[in-house]
Amino acid sequence: MTEEKKVNAKIITRLSTFLLLSLLFTFISFNLSNTKAEATTLRILAADALPKPITEIGKIFKEEHPGVIIYYDFLGAGVLKGDIEEGAPADMFLSANGKFQRELEKKGFLNSYKVFAYDYLAAATPFNNPAHVTEHNLIKKLMDKNVSLTTSSPHSDPAGDYTWAMFRKINKKYPGAFKIITGHADHLLDAALVMPILASGNTDLGILYTSQLLELKRKGAKINIIKIASKYNTHAKFTASILNQSKHKKLDKDFEKLLFSAKGKKILKRWGFTPAQ
C-alpha cells in the first residue's frame, strides 16, 4: 500500500469512528432526555372539587422543584378509582372520601392514606330564586316535584354519596322523603357538571360542596347559597394517597408534605375547605 493510500485509510477510519461516536452520543442524549422527562412528570388524579386549591399548591411545588411537570386529572373520585383499577398511570390519588381509598388499599393499589381537608354540602339557587327556596323551607322544597333539583350521582362521585346520605337523614325525620326526593332529582355524573347548570339558572335548586359554590360566586355566578342544617348535613373527608405503582415516591412525598404544610392549609382554607389538623 502506498503512503498516500495509508494516509487516506487513516482519515477514513478516523471519520468513521467520529461518526459512530457522534451517533452514539446522540442516541444516549436522546434516551437520557426521555428518561429525565419521564422521571420529572408527576401524575395526580384528584376529585372534581379540588382543581383550584390543588393547582395552586402545584404551582408552588413546581417552583420548589424546577423541571417537574404535573399532569392533573380532575373527575368524580369514583371514575378515577375505576381508572386506577384499570391500570391508568398515576402517582397520587386525592379522593373526596375515604371509602375509595380503603377499597384500593384492600386491592393492593396503595398502602395508606390521610385526610387532608373537610367540606360540607350546601344548597344553591339562581339569584332570582324562582322556587323561593330558603334555609327554613329547604326540606319542603326538596320534596316538591315541581322544584327542579340537580345533584351529582352516588357511586360515581362522593358528592352524590354525601347528598344521598343527607336525603336518608331527612327520611328519618320525614318518612318517605328519600324516595320522593331521589325520584325527581336529576343526578349527573359528577359535581363539576352541576356547576354550569346552576350558574346558568337551568335548575331551581342544586346541591354541591360549599367550596364549589364559593368558587362559582368568585367566578361571578349569580347564585344564592343556602346553608343546610347540621343535623342533615354530611362532613365530607378529602383524602390523599401515594399509589404503589408510582415511580416517583420522593416527589409524591414532597407534594404531600406541601399539601399538609401551613402554605397548603392556607390555600385550602381560602378555597372554602377546612384543613385537617
Residues 132 and 200 in one domain: yes
Residue numbers of the domain that contains 192: 119-235
pLDDT of residue 35: 44
236: amino acid identity, one letter:
A
- Residue 229 maps to a domain: yes
Q: Is 209 annotated as a binding residue?
A: yes
CATH code for the domain in which residue 156 is found: 3.40.190.10
Do 247 and 211 reside in the same domain of the chain? no
Is the pTM for the entire model greater than 0.95?
A: no
Q: How many domains are contained in the chain?
A: 2
Average pLDDT over residues 13-25: 47
In a domain, 132, yes or no: yes
pLDDT at 19 over 80: no
Q: Answer whether residue 247 is part of any domain.
A: yes
Taking the alpha carbons of 255, 153, 195, 133 in that order, is the dihedral positive or negative? negative
In a domain, 265, yes or no: yes
- pLDDT digit string (tens) for 208-236? 999 989 988 888 889 999 999 999 998 89
Per-residue pLDDT band at 21 (split at 50, 70, 90): very low
Q: Are residues 254 and 196 in the same domain?
A: no
Does 9 show up as a binding residue in the annotation?
A: no
Q: Are residues 126 and 215 in the same domain?
A: yes
Is residue 7 scored above 90 in pLDDT? Answer: no
* 241 neighbors 110 (Cβ within 8 angstroms): yes
Q: 73-98: per-residue pLDDT in tens?
A: 999 899 999 999 999 999 999 999 99
Q: Residue 267, class by beta-carbon neighbours within 10 Å (0-12 exposed, 13-18 middle, 19+ buried)?
A: buried
**Ranges of H-type helices in the chain:** 3-39, 51-64, 77-85, 99-106, 138-142, 158-173, 177-184, 191-199, 210-218, 249-259, 262-270
Distance CA 162, CA 209 (A): 10
Q: With the C-alpha atoms ordered 73, 34, 87, 64, is the resulting torsion angle positive or negative?
A: negative
Which position has the higher pLDDT, 145 or 216?
Answer: 145
The answer to whether residue 49 is domain-embedded is: yes
The owner of cell 352524590 is 160
Cα–Cα distance for residue pair 256/155, rounded to 1 Å: 26
